[in-house]
Structure 1
Amino acid sequence: MWRRTGSGIVKQCVILDDYQDVALACADWSALRDQVAIRTLNAHIDDEAALAAALRSADIVVAMRERTPFPATLFAALPRLRLLVTSGMRNAAIDLGAARAHGVTVCGTASSLTPPVELTWALILGLARQIVPENRALREGGPWQGGLGRDLAEHRLGLLGVGRIGSAVAQVARAFGMRVSGWSPNLTPERAAAAGVALARSREALFAESDIVSIHLVLAPGTRHLVGAAELARMKPDAFLINTSRAAIVDEAALIAALEQGRLAGAGLDVFAREPLPTDHPYRRLPNVLATPHLGYVTRDNYRTYFTETVEDIRAWLAGAPVRQLTPVPPSRP
């Protein structure tokens, strides 16, 4: 499990899913040099048995958001594991009860809300102004101005969830001159007013009246498949659906059917039921889908925060005083 150096025993740390191979460059890891041997895995390991084999000698594992699930069966297969650090302070892919039962401390880091807000607007603007097809036509010698863009001003943005991220999205919408409505299971008139959002009469009204619906809810039993065939059927045929939150909030089969049948103008998606997205998935070929590979939190500044605080978490744990521990709690209000 450990190797010995002149200064003592060194623990083994594995950094998972470092797709861009930037984890070691985004923070100063030198403070751990004499105590921790670090290796990174740049490719995603989807098979649990293969993952367990890759992590068998690890005392410490660093996970990037929810890219790799940690169910009870994986903890049981990793008896040496003692510290799991995740980026962010919420990770639904980690069975925290199982971690505690197997003696694994789980710590997190800060995470800025700015990157997902900005990506939400990148998807909205990309769809509204047909950025991808117009750019492709320009590069490939296609039609000069092949379509008409969509205005945002005076049109309605419907927010499914008006928490920290939803409120920030609303602020940008108002700068564009949009009308903004919001709904969530716990949204009160007072909270809506504080966010500068009109409280929708009902969830059904939000879908029926909005030109763009953007999802910013926490995934919980009550929000899983909250957006299904009935909700999509209520949307205007020229409306857009944006999801930078969690894939399971939307019934994927229902959304694909609506897009294939032209009952919805388009979808801007950054989250998927399976990641990485299979190469034959319909989202990769549907012309009315603008999709990004779960980039909501993937920015230089956010990564610096993640890995700098990961180093702090490891140092604190080594000193016997772990910080920023995750504990099982009820989902916060969306």
Structure 2
Amino acid sequence: MTLRCAILDDFQDTALAAADWSPVLDRVGVTSFAEHFATEDALAAAVADFDIIVTLRERVPFPASLLARLPRLSLLIASGMRNTVIDYAAAAEHGVTVCGTQSAATPPVELTWALLLGLARGVVAENAALRGNGPWQSTVGTDLHGARLGILGLGKIGTRVARVGLAFGMDVAAWSQNLTRDRAEEAGARLAPSLDDLLAGSDFVSVHLALGDRTRGLVGARELALMKPTAYLINTARSAIVDTDALLAALREGRIAGAAVDVFDTEPLPASHPMRTAPRLLATPHLGYVTRGNYRTYYGQAVEAIEAYLAGSPVRRLGS
């Protein structure tokens, strides 16, 4: 019997072209879904007859309730090696093997700087004005050289962001709960004594923390009020680290100069969501990991995972 594999959230319709699926096509029929299934009911109905599911990042939760509705599912492949929205205990209970793939740290670093530079130089507004025969020069850019870049989280991504900031001649400071002075200095950054100090003293604040109990809601109304009115916030990590309502209020009231966001509480973002129309906001639809190189890795290693599973030797297992 031919197995069935579903690829979720293939928005650009590129999953089948991004990798060579031929090694498994004699045993597995592959279907990609370009539309996002926004509810558990819709997803369960669409994939109930599939044996394998390839899911992109952490967009689609797989709680126990959903896994119980997928009787044929035996292999779940998630891009990346960390996924907080899969119930691993329930997967094991239902006999579902969960595997991951590698994921490069450089694409989100590059997007972070695209967003930061877009904010600093008014790129979107100036492009729209030029193409719409609007005013010739309507913004005044913010200098990066000599400005302070505050980084929340100095892991693989945050460290690379710091090094680019140094190349621009910025004063780089960093903070996280466990960050040490030695670790900060290795990355060329100054250790901020506290979160409050980092927020109050920075011209640009970039978020690169993992989401967990200690970081959920870390930047709320009180913390945003500490930032300079000329400062910018960039979040390419996880939406829940920054309180969305507090950020929207700060932007509407002009209490910070602007923000750039690539992550949202609900994805895809609903058409009526206020983040779509907020002033002083540069927003992108979670593009941090979306590059040709990452897609080759994600889907190429998904094929490898399917081959290994069919051979009885799963690779890159998660949650076990």
Tell me the TM-score range normalised by the shorter chain. Answer: over 0.9
SS in 2 for 1:253: helix
Identity among equivalent pairs (%): 61
Which residue of structure 1 lines up, in the alignment, with residue 223 of structure 2? 231
Which amino acid counterpart does residue 221 of structure 1 have in structure 2? Answer: D
2:171 is the alignment partner of 1:179: yes
How far is 1:281 from its partner? 1.7
Aligned residue for 2:2, secondary structure, equals strand
Question: What are structure 1's unaligned runs of at least 5 residues?
Answer: 1-8, 329-334
- Matched position secondary structure for 1:248: helix
Residue of structure 2 in register with 1:6 after alignment: none
3-state secondary structure, aligned to 2:268: coil
Match of 1:110 among 98, 102, 109: 102
Shift of 1:24: 0.3
- Give me the whole-angstrom Cα distance separating, in 2, the residues matched to 1:283 and 1:267: 11
Deviation at 1:287, TM superposition (A): 2.8
- 2 CA distance for matches of 1:107 and 1:209? 42
* TM-score of the two chains, using structure 1 as the length reference: 0.95
TM-superposed deviation, 1:100 = 1.4
Match of 2:151 among 156, 159, 180: 159
User: SS state of the match for residue 300, structure 2?
Assistant: helix
**Farther-moved stretch of structure 1 (188-197 vs 218-227):** 188-197
Aligned partners of 2:251 and 2:279 also within 8 Å: no
Match of 2:310 in 1: 318
Q: Counterparts of 1:126 and 1:97 in 2: how far apart (Å)?
A: 43
In structure 1, what is the Cα distance between the partners aligned to 2:212 and 2:50? 31
Q: 1:23-42 to 2 correspondence within 5 Å? A: 23-42=15-34
Moved more, 89-98 or 249-258: 89-98
Is the counterpart of residue 126 in structure 1 residue 118 in structure 2? Answer: yes
Q: Secondary structure at the match of 1:301?
A: helix
Shift of residue 193, structure 1, vs aligned partner: 1.3
Structure 1 residue ranges, 4+ long, deviating more than 2 angstroms after superposition: none
1:259 aligns with 2:251: yes
SS at match of 2:288: coil
Residue correspondence of structure 1 range 240-255 to structure 2 within 5 A: 240-255=232-247
- Aligned AA (1:282): P
CA distance in 2, matches of 1:138, 1:324: 49
Distance in 1 separating the partners of 2:235 and 2:94 = 35
The separation in 2 between residues aligned to 1:251 and 1:168, in whole angstroms, is 25
Which amino acid in structure 2 is aligned with residue 287 of structure 1? P
Q: Deviations over 1:174-216 (max 9, x none)?
A: 0000000000011011111111110001111000000010000
Partner of 2:128: 136
Q: Secondary structure at the match of 1:31?
A: coil
Looking at structure 2, the residues matched to 277 and 33 of structure 1 have their Cα atoms a distance apart, in angstroms, of: 34
The whole-number CA distance in structure 2 between the counterparts of 1:181 and 1:151 is 17
Within 5 Å, give how 1:1-334 maps onto structure 2. Answer: 9-327=1-319
